[in-house]
Amino acid sequence: MTELKTVGKSIERVDIKAKVLGTAVYAADIKLPGMLHGKIVRCFEHAHAKVVHLDLSAAAAVPGVVKVLGPKDVTSKTYNQSVIDLMASKTEGAMLGDIEEQHIFTEHVKFWGDGIAGIIAVSEEVAERAAKLVRVEYEPLPVYITPEESGHPEAVQFTPHKPGNRAFQLPEEMFPGNALGWGDVDKAFEEADLVIEDTFYTPKQKQCQMEPNSYVALYDDSNRLNCWTSGQMPKLVHEKIARLFDLPMSRVTIHQTVVGGGFGARLGMVLEPEICAMALAVPGRPVKIQQPREEDWLTSPSRHPARYWMKIGFRKDGTPLAVDAKSVNFKGGYYLDGSALASTTGFWLQGMYKFENLRYKGESYFTNQPVCGAFRGYGNPQTNFVLEQMIERACVQLDLDPLEWRRKWHKETGDMSWLNATPYTSCALNDCLDRGAEVIGWAQKRKKYANQTGPKRRGIGVAVGNHTSGAFPMILEHTTCTVRLNEDASATVLVACSDMGQGAHTSLTQIAAETLGWPIEDVRLETGDSDANGFDIGAHASRTLYVGGAAIMKACQDARGQLLDRAARILKVNRDELDIDNKTIFVEGEPERSVSAVDICRTGIYNFIDHATGLPEGELGQIQAYVSYKPDQNSPPFFATFVELEVDTETGEVELLELVSSHDIGKAIHPAICEGQMEGGAQQGLGMVLTEEMYFDERGFAINNSFTDYKMLGASDMPKMTSILVENGDPYGPFGAKSVGEAGVVTPVGATANAIYQATGIQFTQGPITPEKILHEIRKRGLTYD
Amino acid sequence: MSKHMITLNVNGEDHDIVVASNKTLLEVLREQLNMPDTKYGCGTGECGACSVLLEDNSAINSCLTLAATMDGKKITTASGLEKGDKLHPVQQAFIDHAAVQCGFCTPGMVVKSVSLLAKNPRPTEQEIREGLEGSICRCTGYVKIVNAVEAASKAMAGTAG
Ligand code: FES
Ligand code: FES
């Protein structure tokens, strides 16, 4: 392989100068002439109620109010704000039971903060003043916080489509017995020497992307509906909005702005239906919604809280005979991606270890809480919290080294991966374990911390995981890419891939530049408008670099080939005798026989007739390549995290000392960006296991919907972190790369719980493991640490 | 709502403006002066996205500051840190160390770091971490931000000496 010029280097990010200057344009920064301001009237009186009477007249009479909108003033069509349903085929969607039950403004309030009406006014202040004058009469309904409550036979139904308020269970047609897996679990347990079993709880965690959701929409004078949003999947939102408002797709544009973080919170739609309904109500006038943080908290989907039961049987030597598990998600008020999360939580389980027998059941029940949807990891951190603690417990009981056990029993290249449909394409997990263990000093510390005295106890823990690169073959994968060579041979790459902040546009530009053989300055990605740059699913499932990158690579190979074909005709040689350097195409071994790539590109466009010969000066046509790319693999990345910490058994405080993560990512296209994903992911994973949970009182009212009361780890709470990139190359990924986007969040969860276990001798089943819970358990068990 | 006539200097330019007494400095910057480089992240003084620099190099949360109290004050925002076409050493260090992902916290983070280094030109890692408390970044895990501030400290010491 020739030496790589840009791939593998931490070049300056393409978007970074505007970001350090603050000139990057996010949705909230957009201002259009004549812009109006929208405000959604939300129900803050109840978490579950019927709207009996809605009186908007006083609000409408406020000077400066342009329009008030109730449920009857907008389309009566219903929708599903997630876009996962679009990625399943009709038959598959029917089997899964996906539904569209959301109204733009509801008459059945299902969570505290559900939207019931809209106000459009000349300013935010006026809209807010008017919103306070909306008179609503409610019929309060019982509030259901748990699946037992909402699943009770007498409970009020959230939607007629889902009897018993069970939003989802693995469907019988696809998963006989409503379970996935293999073998005979019950029989295997009879043969097991050790069977362990427990029930865990994983919290409702908020993405807390730093940019609150904002929108501008305009139904313009050419009858086109424009929506500026920082959603992470503009193309699918485009189709959803067109369908919801019965517009041809050619009359809708979703303009993607710079995205201020997503982590799943912007997977699909949040307030796009509301803002578009407002814009359609005042044609010709732009409308803006700037969501306050407290409301963003309630309206963008969070991680699903889940109760997660697991039972595992082992032979004395550690052989994992069988695992039986069931997770029950608290779905929140609406269905969204109800079918997907309960399934993937089990997929991560079936993808990790070589269990001889496996059974997993996944269910979701509606609850009167804000909606749940995608959050980085998509069920994987939940499974990590449970599975990795269970493995740890078994290793202690069987007196086995937890690191060696994992090395021995994790799945490998060639074993069936998470969906149990395609094999793992590459696996360097043992390298990850070796390198991580060495950096953190695992063996010495593990031994040292086995015997401690005093109230402060240290522990070191390890966890492993794997994820995916794209959603193949579970749901749709597809990216199109068009590459155009300009008059000066520089390249414009039209691709609809999103950069959520992770740096995708930089890495994708590197892939294009490397493939074409052009310097990075000569390549520009054209992204953003949903009707201009072809099709891409959007940023989810850690797919962008793996799928989008491969699409770009193929299109660039094609463009380069076309250029070489033209050069070959000019130089009268075969294409494979040619090489390119510095935009000069030459015959290998005879550099004087050459032609300039710029000349070929320019004369293809400025196609003058040479008066001397009467012939065109060059071959007519701008060089342009197009691909529609669907991957046939999903090259899962593997990873390991080690965490060292200290627990103060008198206060319950946990001090994080060190975290080392090593990721088998195939090839780092941009090493600093890859590390950034691991480091940022760790902050979220550590938060999930230690501090972060959205709390609600018994009325279903949010208690901590602000950064004051919701505790994320700050700069001085974070441990020393080391990120190790293991680059053994994957046979399918572009330049050998696998994903890294979601992976970073997963294993800090299990590793932290296991470190706390070593430190205290206690396994905490209820996340997050807060100081209160630690003290409570210590006291309950009457433990002393002298 | 009472109104106040104030003169506010932003990034070296004077603005004579009338502000309502309930308007925050953040709102006035973003809405009235059309300077969106200072960001709204929470509005309650918890995230630091709205940090701006005062003349004495202290950083304040503009979301908690009433604009009417800023008469005669000089402030600097992230976009005003660039001198000519030369980025501030802190901004350059954020670029060199890839300390930016989504970039939404970045203007505030840069302002906060400039303030921190003005008060303590050679901070330890721990001092940087503590100095950045109150500025939330959800993307980076802070590693590269801390590295960038350390590097900026060195670069600025170099230019000063
Ligand atoms: S917006 Fe001012 S601190 Fe968050
Ligand atoms: S870079 Fe996204 S919040 Fe800091």
Q: Do B65 and B110 share a structural domain?
A: no
Cα of B39 to ligand 1 centre, how many Å? 8
pLDDT of amino acid B1? 74
How far is Cα B20 from Cα B28, in angstroms, rounded to an integer? 9
Q: Do B74 and B12 share a structural domain?
A: yes
- Are the C-beta atoms of A518 and A490 separated by less than 8 Å? yes
Locate all alpha helices (DSSP H) within A399-542, ordered by sequence. Answer: 402-409, 429-440, 442-448, 504-516
Q: What is the pLDDT of residues A141-162, one digit of tens each?
A: 999 999 999 999 999 999 999 9
In chain B, the number of structural domains is: 2
> What positions of A carry a catalytic annotation?
742
Q: Strand B3-10 to strand A584-587: parallel, antiparallel, or no bridges (unpaired)?
A: unpaired
Rounded to two decimals, the pTM is 0.97
In chain A, the number of structural domains is: 3
- Give the best residue of A19, A297, A544 to mutate against chain B (max B CB count within 10 A): A19
Query: Within a domain: residue A772?
Result: yes
Touching check for B104 and chain A: CB below 8 Å?
yes
Q: Would you place residue B159 in the very low, low, confident or very high pLDDT band (cuts 50, 70, 90)?
A: low
Query: Within a domain: residue B97?
Result: yes
Ligand 2, residue A210: give the atom nearest the CA.
3
Of A299, A334, A355, the domain-final residue:
A299
Q: Do A502 and A413 share a structural domain?
A: no
Query: Within a domain: residue B100?
Result: yes
Residue A652: phi and psi, rounded to 5, are 80, 0
CATH of residue A236: 3.90.1170.50
Residue of B94, B101, B107 lying closest to A676 (CB–CB)? B101
Q: Tokens in use for A187? A: 């029989």
Residue B161 pLDDT exceeds 60: no
How far is Cα A102 from Cα A652, in angstroms, rounded to an integer? 43
Touching check for A127 and chain B: CB below 8 Å?
no
Query: Within a domain: residue B128?
Result: yes
Determine the structural domain holding residue B16 and report its residue range.
Answer: 3-80
Question: How many H-runs (helices) and E-runs (strands) does chain A carry?
Answer: 20, 29
Query: Within a domain: residue B9?
Result: yes
Residue of B43, B79, B104 lying closest to A292 (CB–CB)? B43
B77 to chain A: which residues are within 8 Å by CB?
Answer: 22
Query: Within a domain: residue B41?
Result: yes
Q: Is A283 helix (H, G, I), strand (E, B) or coil?
A: coil
Q: Do A708 and A768 share a structural domain?
A: yes
In chain A, the N- to C-terminal Cα span, in Å, equals 61
Q: What is the pLDDT of residues A376-394, one digit of tens each?
A: 999 999 999 999 999 999 9
B129 to chain A: which residues are within 8 Å by CB?
Answer: 715-716, 718
Q: Do B129 and B75 share a structural domain?
A: no
Classify residue A304 by its DSSP letter. P
Q: Do A643 and A499 share a structural domain?
A: no
Query: Within a domain: residue A366?
Result: no
Touching check for A664 and chain B: CB below 8 Å?
no
Query: Within a domain: residue A136?
Result: yes
Window A:9-68, CB contacts with B under 8 Å? 10, 12-13, 15-26, 28-29, 31
Q: Do B61 and B109 share a structural domain?
A: no
Residue B160 pLDDT exceeds 60: no
Whether A706 sits inside 8 A of B145 (CB atoms) is no
Q: Is A476 helix (H, G, I), strand (E, B) or coil?
A: coil
Query: Within a domain: residue B161?
Result: no
Query: Within a domain: residue A538?
Result: yes
Of B80, B111, B146, the domain-final residue:
B80
Q: Do B99 and B66 share a structural domain?
A: no
Q: Tokens in use for B68? A: 């009417």
Residue B93 pLDDT exceeds 80: yes
pLDDT of amino acid B62? 98
CATH of residue B42: 3.10.20.30
Query: Within a domain: residue A757?
Result: yes
Residue of A20, A25, A679 lying closest to B141 (CB–CB)? A679
How far is Cα A65 from Cα A129, in angstroms, rounded to an integer? 10
In chain A, which stretches have pLDDT less than 70? 1
Neighbouring residues of A154: CB distance < 8 A, sequence distance ≥ 6: none
Q: For CA atoms B95, B98, B101, B105, give the dihedral sign.
A: negative
Residues with CB under 6 A from ligand 2: A 210, 261, 501; B 100-106, 137-140
- Give the best residue of A11, A21, A35 to mutate against chain B (max B CB count within 10 A): A21
Q: Do A609 and A536 share a structural domain?
A: yes
Q: Which residue's structure tokens are 């202040």?
A: A125
Query: Within a domain: residue A601?
Result: yes
Q: For CA atoms A376, A378, A384, A385, give the dihedral sign.
A: positive
Q: Do A84 and A128 share a structural domain?
A: yes
Of B63, B80, B97, the domain-final residue:
B80
Of B56, B80, B104, the domain-final residue:
B80
Ligand closest to B136 (CA) is: 2
Touching check for A258 and chain B: CB below 8 Å?
yes
Ligand 1 neighbour B43 (Cβ under 6 A): yes
Query: Within a domain: residue A352?
Result: no
- Give the best residue of B143, B146, B147 to mutate against chain A (max A CB count within 10 A): B143
- Are the C-beta atoms of B8 and B67 separated by less than 8 Å? yes
Ligand closest to B50 (CA) is: 1
Query: Within a domain: residue B18?
Result: yes
Q: Tokens in use for A16? A: 């970074």
Q: Do A699 and A559 share a structural domain?
A: no
Give the pLDDT mean for B76-84. Answer: 96
CATH of residue A716: 3.30.365.10
Query: Interhelix angle for B143-160 vs B89-96, to 10°?
Result: 140
What stretches of A126-193 adopt beta strand conformation (E)? 135-140, 166-169, 180-182
Determine the structural domain holding residue A264 and report its residue range.
Answer: 31-141+206-299
Searching chain A, which residue's CA lies closest to the CA of residue B141? A680
CATH of residue B101: 1.10.150.120
Ligand 2, residue A209: give the atom nearest the CA.
3
Q: Do A653 and A603 share a structural domain?
A: no
Q: Tokens in use for B17? A: 């403006």
Locate all alpha helices (DSSP H) within B21-88, ordered by sequence. Answer: 25-27
Q: Is A536 helix (H, G, I), strand (E, B) or coil?
A: strand
Residue A354: phi and psi, rounded to 5, are -85, 60
Q: Do B76 and B95 share a structural domain?
A: no
Q: Do B95 and B64 share a structural domain?
A: no
Q: Do A679 and A731 share a structural domain?
A: yes
Half-sphere exposure of A301 (CA within 13 A, CB side): 33
Mean per-residue pLDDT over chain B, rounded: 96
Complex ipTM, two decimals?
Answer: 0.98
DSSP string for residues in A314-327: E-TT--EEEEEEEE
Q: Is B47 helix (H, G, I), strand (E, B) or coil?
A: coil
Touching check for B95 and chain A: CB below 8 Å?
yes
Q: Do A108 and A214 share a structural domain?
A: yes
Of A629, A657, A675, the domain-final residue:
A629
Q: Do A509 and A618 share a structural domain?
A: yes
What is the number of other CB atoms lying within 10 angstroms of the CB of residue A664?
A: 26
Of A571, A600, A629, the domain-final residue:
A629
Q: Do A730 and A684 share a structural domain?
A: yes
Instruction: Report CA-CA distances (Å) from A174 to A82, A88, A329.
Output: 22, 14, 20
Q: Do A501 and A452 share a structural domain?
A: no
Q: Do B101 and B43 share a structural domain?
A: no
Residue A138: phi and psi, rounded to 5, are -115, 150
